Structure 1
Amino acid sequence: MANAFAKGRPIEPLVVTAEERAYLERQVRRHRVSRSLSERCRIILRCAGGLQNKVVATELGIHEHTVGKWRRRFLADRIDGLLDEARPGRPRSIDDDQVAAVIERTLRTTPADATHWSIRSMAAETGFSHTTIRRMWNAFGLQPHRSQTFKLSSDPLFVDKVRDIVGLYLSPPTRAIVLSVDEKSQIQALDREQPVLPMMPGIPERRTHSYVRHGTTSLFAALDIASGFVIGKCYKRHRATEFLDFLKQIDRAAPDGLDVHIVMDNYATHKTAKVRAWLARRPHYHVHFTPTSASWINQVERWFAELTRKQLQRGVHRSTGQLEADILTFIDRHNESPKPYRSTKSADEILASVKRFCQKTEQTLCGEL
């Protein structure tokens, strides 16, 4: 008898169908599903595995009574039993047609005095409160104040070039170095018209919006994708002459006996007769041109973004010499402990992403026509 009582009250076995299991697992994987529903689905999946309520509660860090509640609800009403029941409260004052009208107006029209709707302008137009408009927009993920730019490459060899360059990143050839090369032109030496006020407790750094220009410089850089090491040199101009001089600097720095693969864009200075002749005399150099309008595939652009964010964006320079000195110092500091940028997406994944974007863009344009 003692052993019989130790086993506790018998529980009704919980069995889920293949369709129900697929639904439960899908809700657990989804990122935008409510946390409560995801937790309930996890409870049912554990219980369907034959686990007792106490074991499931310990695994999920919840109370045993909670597990029992959702087990009973599922056995009684199946999937519908996991959904929240209707709660008493004030009835809705805005019906679905009114919400649809606001969303349609947000998507299809613009105000007479602006390029996009704001919460308050839409509220004034529709007669709803601005908090109601905010809830509607949040529910449908609408943010009219935001805008993004894009440009699709029209290069007929786009697919081949992406596969070639991504292949270099993910699987570099043996006995070779791969360099991502580009120039950051027209970097301005800017000085503020008034002194910069330093940051203080509760007060951010402050500077005038107006500035004084002290000339420009152009930076040529080559990023070794295997190590993250950067070769850089500043020039007053960015012509083919300067680019050829930079190639010679790369040649002096490159280890002997290795092939050199250079990834660069289609800028005119990269394709002049002198540059092509110089490369032709060096058969161990191999050039890989990026697709047009696809600078995102050139890894050195990521390093340029770091340079801009960490050094140039808030820098104060009273001469191009001072600017160039700070850039070269930044390069030296970077090369003290360089880190490569890791490419995680294959060419097929990148092309699939571009394809999805093209299809979504085409659907949007067709919907407007």
Structure 2
Amino acid sequence: MEEYGNYISVALLPLLAILQPHRWKNFSTSYSMPSCIVLRSKIILMAAEEKNNTQIAKAIGTSYSTVSIWRNRFYNSIDLIAQTEEYDGPDCEKKLSDVIKSVLSDKQRPGKEPVFTPEQIMLINELACKNPKDFGYELSCWNLASLAKEAGRQGIVESVSVASVQRFLKFAGIAPWKNRYWLNSPEKHDDPESFKKIETICGIYLQAAELAECGTEVYSTDEMTGIQALERKYPDKPVRPGSPALHEFEYIRHGTISLITFLRVADGSIQSPYLNSTRNEEDFCNAVRQLIAEGADKNYIIICDGLNTHKSEGLVKLVAQECSITADLGIKGKEGILGSMKSRESFLMDESHRIRFVYTPKHSSWVNQIEIWFGIINRKLLKKGSYKSVAEMAQSILNFIKQYNLTAKAFNWKYAG
């Protein structure tokens, strides 16, 4: 053993022969380890080759004192490394690597005393979660400068920088300037049947393929209203390398159209699209009549929302006719099945009918699979389309549906209620 100043220089050849030199070589050539650990591994390996501190420092481009420190650190940790190597447990390799890393890593330093206490930081975060109007600010949400100012005014801190406030909020995951829409839907809690309805619809979705084999078709339907036939005032400019397509901002309106269509849940195809300028009771009845005309010998389960046109007098009469129901239906608004919307709904939901409807709860359009498809056609066709007439747009929609059905697949519905 040699001494250089106050540091110990150790002849490491016999030691590394015991302590697996290949492991140190792996450390010294690693591309994933921190560079400081790689450098210190090289110091240990070169010391094992009986090179002195000056030679090592010159070879790896570091200072004499750095080499001495880490040779000394290694010498003081030899017993610990040797004991760990003797360990023969299931994770012995990992344990030995962790020990070597700890020997070659910097010791924990005390660092600078924190300027702000945890209590102060907590109070600033708490302030960020309150309404700024309660503190006299005409703001809809906090900004960093206002928060820093109010923290000082409240006596939480003497002063605090905007950067510090930003750091506190980021660590706590608080962003008062961000928001997203939320719908308070008390009927979901007030109506105990709400979740049961969702479970029923999800159950039908999951059994749609089996029901289809047994002759019962499951469809999801709704209206896509007010589809505008917009013609861009000037042609779009195509996409180029380094530049997206340029979509003309100004447009010319050519009218609107409504689409009522049916998604066959078993295979995801779109059936019986019905396009018209209006969307009323008669239109929905015509769309349903068009659908069921294609399978007079089948049963139908049609899922839709609770819009009044989906529980209309005309729809009740259509179902009664198709199901050969001769009983008196009553008078709308007065008596019998047609007496009220609730009585009409009960009739249309009757499971004994060949054609029956299942209604989604209020504010639960996400349960209706047709809404997913409306998003698809909007993104892929309507959002960037340019049409010179309503007729041109209607034909484009029909062409899209025909093309979509060639590769349609059932939605992978996993929610079960």
What is the TM-score normalised by the length of structure 2?
Answer: 0.61
Call closer, same or farther: CA 1:86–1:154 in 2, change over 3 Å.
Answer: farther
Match for 1:51: what amino acid?
Answer: P
Give the CA deviation at 1:90.
Answer: 2.8
Call closer, same or farther: CA 1:191–1:122 in 2, change over 3 Å.
Answer: farther
1:98 to 103, 120, 130: 120
Output the CA distance in 1 between the equivalents of 2:414 and 2:207: 12
Give the CA deviation at 1:67.
Answer: 4.5
Query: Is structure 2 residue 387 aligned with structure 1 residue 317?
Result: yes
Output the CA distance in 2 between the equivalents of 1:309 and 1:335: 17
For structure 1, list consecutive stretches of 5 or more residues without a partner in the other structure: 1-7, 10-48, 58-63, 74-83, 348-369
Per the alignment, in what secondary structure is the counterpart of residue 302 of structure 2? strand
1:26-85 Cα shifts (integer Å, max 9, x gaps): xxxxxxxxxxxxxxxxxxxxxxx951423xx4xxxxxx6334569x99xxxxxxxxxx99
The share of aligned pairs that are identical, in percent, is 26
1:234 matched residue in structure 2: 275
Match for 2:176: what amino acid?
Answer: P
Match for 2:141: what amino acid?
Answer: H
Give the CA deviation at 1:145.
Answer: 2.8
Where has structure 1 moved over 6 Å in runs of 4 or more?
none
1:141 matched residue in structure 2: 173
Match for 1:100: what amino acid?
Answer: M
1:5-40 Cα shifts (integer Å, max 9, x gaps): xxx99xxxxxxxxxxxxxxxxxxxxxxxxxxxxxxx
1:199 matched residue in structure 2: 239
Output the CA distance in 1 between the equivalents of 2:249 and 2:121: 42
1:234-276 Cα shifts (integer Å, max 9, x gaps): 111101111111111211334x533111001111111111111
1:18 matched residue in structure 2: none
Match for 1:166: what amino acid?
Answer: C
1:306 matched residue in structure 2: 376
Call closer, same or farther: CA 1:106–1:52 in 2, change over 3 Å.
Answer: closer
Per the alignment, in what secondary structure is the counterpart of residue 315 of structure 1? coil
Call closer, same or farther: CA 1:324–1:96 in 2, change over 3 Å.
Answer: same
Query: Is structure 2 residue 282 aligned with structure 1 residue 212?
Result: no
Query: Mapping of 1:101-112 within 5 angstroms?
Result: 101-110=123-132, 112=137
Call closer, same or farther: CA 1:132–1:277 in 2, change over 3 Å.
Answer: same
Output the CA distance in 2 between the equivalents of 1:51 and 1:87: 33
The structure whose RCO (Cα within 8 Å, separation 6+) is larger is 1
Output the CA distance in 1 between the equivalents of 2:240 and 2:161: 39
Query: Mapping of 1:1-369 within 5 angstroms?
Result: 50-54=89-93, 57=94, 65-68=96-99, 87-110=109-132, 112-123=137-148, 126=151, 128-151=160-183, 152=185, 154=187, 156=191, 157-172=193-208, 173=211, 174-231=214-271, 232-254=273-295, 257-281=297-321, 282=323, 283-347=353-417
Give the CA deviation at 1:199.
Answer: 2.8
1:309-355 Cα shifts (integer Å, max 9, x gaps): 111222222321222222212211110110111121222xxxxxxxx
How many residues were matched structurally? 282
Per the alignment, in what secondary structure is the counterpart of residue 338 of structure 1? coil
Output the CA distance in 1 between the equivalents of 2:150 and 2:97: 47
Question: In the alignment, is the contact (CA less than 8 A) between 1:179 and 1:225 conserved in 2?
Answer: yes
Give the CA deviation at 1:114.
Answer: 2.7
- Rg comparison, structure with higher value: 2
Match for 2:207: what amino acid?
Answer: S
Give the CA deviation at 1:87.
Answer: 4.0
Q: CA RMSD in A?
A: 2.9
Output the CA distance in 1 between the equivalents of 2:290 and 2:401: 15
Give the CA deviation at 1:214.
Answer: 1.7
Match for 1:117: what amino acid?
Answer: W
Give the CA deviation at 1:119.
Answer: 3.6
Call closer, same or farther: CA 1:130–1:263 in 2, change over 3 Å.
Answer: same
What is the TM-score normalised by the length of structure 1?
Answer: 0.68
Output the CA distance in 1 between the equivalents of 2:198 and 2:225: 25
1:192-234 Cα shifts (integer Å, max 9, x gaps): 3444333333333333544332211111111111100112221
Question: In the alignment, is the contact (CA less than 8 A) between 1:153 and 1:291 conserved in 2?
Answer: no
Output the CA distance in 1 between the equivalents of 2:144 and 2:247: 31
